[in-house]
Amino acid sequence: MNQLFVNNLSVIDFSYFDNQRGILGESWIVDIELSGELDDQGMVFDFGHVKKKIKSIIDEELDHRFIISKQVKDLTVKEHEDNCELNWTNIMGTYQHISPKSSVLVLDVKTINTKTIASYLQDIILEALPSNVSKVQIILTQEAIDGAYYHYSHGLKKHDGNCQRIVHGHRSKIEIYENHQRSIELEDYWSACFRNIYIGTREDITLEHDVDNKAHITFSYSSKQGDFSVTLPKKRVYIIDTDSTVELIAQHIALSCAEKQPNNHYRVRAYEGVGKGAIACSK
């Protein structure tokens, strides 16, 4: 059996629901292996097509989407024309997600993890490949981070692409320099602030209310892809006064540090997923 592989084919940035941790932003690195007979070119599959065709399938199916298991307790799914409404609860509170269908993925699996998502992708990709390819193996891994990192979800209503989807997210590392010296203490502090959090923009708040004596908050907006809304427990929300681009998140962290220590200089390297991000300084 002939095989080929492509490492670091893509990075999937998305969010999913975990019953213990809530809505969780994630970034998974995608490696792929293809097995099969050689074609007329002496190839299992052209590397150029792997990078274009297979990457586009992966991005279309998962990237910048909100994924939830069909088996989540009390989950109801309502579809109307091009829209999808999800409602569910857990020990933390009540959740609702309303968006175009293209922004969500409901999978009939017990748990959303690297194995179940890889299996889902393998079946879809194999169907799209030539008949000489007999097996697809997807390997999904998290970036190895030596230091502080956080999971956050957000939505960018002004974005032209899929970042406008109200619940998608990232697993990101952070580097903070105080007076040109790396501050592990500040990195740990901000990674704790953004751990398993939804970063919401203040002007997008449309409702604040209590459900069973638990504070909840709703963010809503309209963008080019349609109407979006998410309701979640307030304890899982971090509110900022601007949009939540990585540039503005880095700026928010730098300025917040400077507010506490105005005589110090701060430089923040905030990542958005793997290998990319923004730099902001306090002055």
Q: What is the CATH number of the domain that holds 54?
A: 3.30.479.10
String of b and e for 211-224 (b: at least 16 CB within 10 Å)? eeeeebbbbbbebe
Q: Cβ–Cβ contacts within 10 Å for residue 49, how many?
A: 13
Quick one: pLDDT at residue 215? 98
Tell me which residue range forms the domain holding 25: 2-281
Name the amino acid, one letter, at 187: E
Give the mean model confidence (pLDDT) for residues 20-39.
94
Q: Quickly state the pLDDT bin for 41 (edges 50, 70, 90).
A: confident
Quick one: pLDDT at residue 224? 95
Q: Quickly state the pLDDT bin for 43 (edges 50, 70, 90).
A: confident
Tally of domains in the chain: 1
Cα angle: 83, vertex 22, 210; to 5 degrees: 80
Quick one: pLDDT at residue 33? 95
Q: Could you give the C-alpha distances from 36 to 6, 44, 232, 258, in angstroms and in order?
A: 15, 6, 46, 58
Give the mean model confidence (pLDDT) for residues 103-127.
96
Q: Does position 283 have pLDDT exceeding 80, yes or no? A: no
Q: Is 240 helix (H, G, I), strand (E, B) or coil?
A: strand
Write phi, then psi, for 246 (nearest 5 degrees): -65, -30
Closest residue by Cα to residue 28 from 191, 171, 195, 198: 171
Share of the chain above pLDDT 90, in %: 90
- Radius of gyration for the chain, computed over Cα atoms and rounded to the nearest angstrom: 20
Quick one: pLDDT at residue 40? 85
Q: Does position 45 have pLDDT exceeding 90, yes or no? A: no
Distance of CA 141 to the CA centre of its chain: 14
**Contact predicate 4/47, CB 8 Å:** yes
Ranges of H-type helices in 34-76: 47-49, 55-62
Question: pTM of this prediction?
Answer: 0.94
Quick one: pLDDT at residue 7? 94
Quick one: pLDDT at residue 230? 98
Write phi, then psi, for 267 (nearest 5 degrees): -130, 125
More reliable by pLDDT, 191 or 50: 191
Distance CA 61, CA 130 (A): 20
Distance CA 78, CA 167 (A): 18
Q: Cβ–Cβ contacts within 10 Å for residue 72, how many?
A: 19
Give the mean model confidence (pLDDT) for residues 15-42.
94
Alpha-carbon dihedral angle through residues 18, 19, 22, 28, given to the nearest 10 degrees: -10
**Contact predicate 268/176, CB 8 Å:** yes
Question: In the structure encoding, which two tokens stand for residue 232, read together?
Answer: 């979640």
236, HSE (Cβ side, Cα atoms, 13 Å): 29
Share the mean pLDDT of the chain.
95
Give the mean model confidence (pLDDT) for residues 76-99.
95
